[in-house]
Structure 1
Amino acid sequence: MNRNRTAISPTGFSSIPPIAVHVVGKHSGFTNKALHNNDKMFKVGPWEEARGQSMRLNVNVDSHHLIIPENGVYYVYSQVYFRDERTPTERQNESVHEFLHYTVLDSTGNLVHHRNLMKSGRTKIGGEENGYYFSSHHSGLFELRKNDKIYMKVFLQHEQIKVGRDHEETFMGMYRIGELH
């Protein structure tokens, strides 16, 4: 954040309504949507926004996006749980294992419409006998504008690598910590 152009007011003790959302993997219909034909990069969703550990306060959610309701500084987080369903022999035959996880800003106000806000991952060289699971979590503070959209995408190297759907495995959320003036 550029301190010379942005003044922030904390939302904790003001009359500003709270803005927060936490969405989780949805058991029915939760799939990976390919971003491009024949691509290994997938958009994660749709999200469960009303049941279980999900919650939503003054935020709209569509099938794959959190939609920013007001300008502000937001704490954004996401986690993905990769499940590698290949056999140990199949994993050993692979020379490189990549698990990549991104949180992306889709903004109509920027010249670049889709911008990676955060990226995390794991790359392992060589065979792996016992590694069936891997989770990746990241978070950060970002200056966001009304109607910006946040979504999660993952790189799935093989069809047998799946994204976990349980509420404690794959999730994302955000909350506003201050206004922009």
Structure 2
Amino acid sequence: MTLLALSGTGLAIFQISHLQQELEALKELSSSGQMPQSSEKLKGKANQKSLPLEWESTYGHAFTSGVHYEKRGLVIEEAGVYFVYSKVFFRGQACTTKPLDHVVFKRNPAYPDIQVLMQDRKMNYCIPTRMWGKSSYLGALFNLSRQDSLHVSVSEVMLVSSEESKTFFGLYMV
């Protein structure tokens, strides 16, 4: 079990490092006026108003190609295998016993219910009388269909940091 947990942690660290390198490359291309045509990705910051989370899709690190942002979700334009990732940073000043839930789910017009793709729940995440912060990172490969829309939901919207380097959501075609 320990080996499995360490392997999973290593893979997550590798994926985060890889995503940071891709983001830096995109920043360089963006500043030079050249944008890759086949990348499928959205980077952005959360707007903390409602569930599912609302995302900034045009400013900051936001980038969409091959997907479009609609009704608080990323809509797939081309079927295929995608790496989907989401990071949410929760922070607060008061300690509470409420769990912190972070869920990535999909919808499709042909299917009436939502399908949970990934989820995380944090318990016992704070110390009374101290400011606290807790990250939740989710990432995995999924076979997605055209018109699937992906969304992120959290249990405590008011505790989500809106800094785009701490809370983000995206995907890319593999």
* Consecutive unaligned residues in structure 1, runs of 5 or more: 1-16, 34-41
**Taking structure 1 as the reference length, what is the TM-score of the superposition?**
0.68
Aligned CA distance change for structure 1 residues 130 and 147 (closer, same or farther; 3 Å): same
Counterpart CA distance in 1 for 2:125 and 2:102 is 18
Corresponding pairs, count: 138
**Taking structure 2 as the reference length, what is the TM-score of the superposition?**
0.70
Once the two structures are superposed, residues 97-129 of structure 1 have per-residue CA deviations (whole angstroms, 9 ceiling, x without a partner) of 41110001112233x521110001211189634
Counterpart CA distance in 2 for 1:117 and 1:32 is 23
Tell me which residue corresponds to 1:18.
Answer: 38
Matched, 1:43 2:42: no
Counterpart CA distance in 1 for 2:126 and 2:89 is 21
Counterpart CA distance in 2 for 1:69 and 1:146 is 5
Pairing 1:1-181 to 2, within 5 Å after superposition: 18-25=38-45, 30-33=47-50, 42-45=51-54, 47-86=55-94, 91=95, 94=96, 96-110=97-111, 113-124=113-124, 128-156=128-156, 161-177=158-174
* Consecutive unaligned residues in structure 2, runs of 5 or more: 1-36
Residue identity in the other structure for 1:147: Q
Q: Does the 8 A contact of 1:65 with 1:151 survive in 2? A: yes
Aligned CA distance change for structure 1 residues 21 and 119 (closer, same or farther; 3 Å): same
Larger Rg: 1
Q: How far is 1:174 from its partner?
A: 0.5
Counterpart CA distance in 2 for 1:71 and 1:170 is 26
Residue identity in the other structure for 2:165: E
Aligned CA distance change for structure 1 residues 125 and 152 (closer, same or farther; 3 Å): closer
Residue identity in the other structure for 1:23: K
Counterpart CA distance in 2 for 1:60 and 1:126 is 37
Task: Note the aligned Cα RMSD (angstroms).
Answer: 2.2
- Runs of 4+ aligned structure 1 residues displaced above 4 Å come to none
Q: Would you tell me which structure has more helix in proportion to its own residues?
A: 2
Q: Would you tell me which structure has more strand in proportion to its own residues?
A: 1
Q: How far is 1:136 from its partner?
A: 0.4
Q: Does the 8 A contact of 2:89 with 2:134 survive in 1? A: yes
Q: How far is 1:53 from its partner?
A: 1.6
